[in-house]
Amino acid sequence: MKSNLFKIKEGKLDKWFEWGKLLTTKYREEAIETLKEEGLNYEAFCVFKIEEEYYTISMIEGEEKPTNMDRELNQKHKETKKECLEYIGPIEKVYELYNK
């Protein structure tokens, strides 16, 4: 699994949550198709707060093929991330345990 940390820009928290809701409802089927195209089997963003600042962690798992930027949804996702998020850097996994 690959993870990255982003700071949510001031005043953009609601827009970021709104975008996430749209991806899991209105655009769900197309979003899943984009995951398949990119060779991903999992993608998630989680939000948390430190003091008065909000951050989000992206988590993806899979092959990571190039994103099809001809898709309007992918363009909108990129624009929304640019508007709402400030990239901080990668997150390194220390360990991961599964009890299957």
**Tens digit of each residue's pLDDT (9 = 90 or more) over 46-83:** 999 999 999 999 999 999 999 999 999 999 999 999 99
Using alpha carbons, list the distances in angstroms from residue 16 to 9, 83, 93: 10, 9, 25
Model pTM? 0.91
Q: How many CB atoms lie within 10 A of CB 16?
A: 21
CA 21 to chain centre: 12
Q: Which residues pair with 3 in a beta bridge?
A: 59, 91
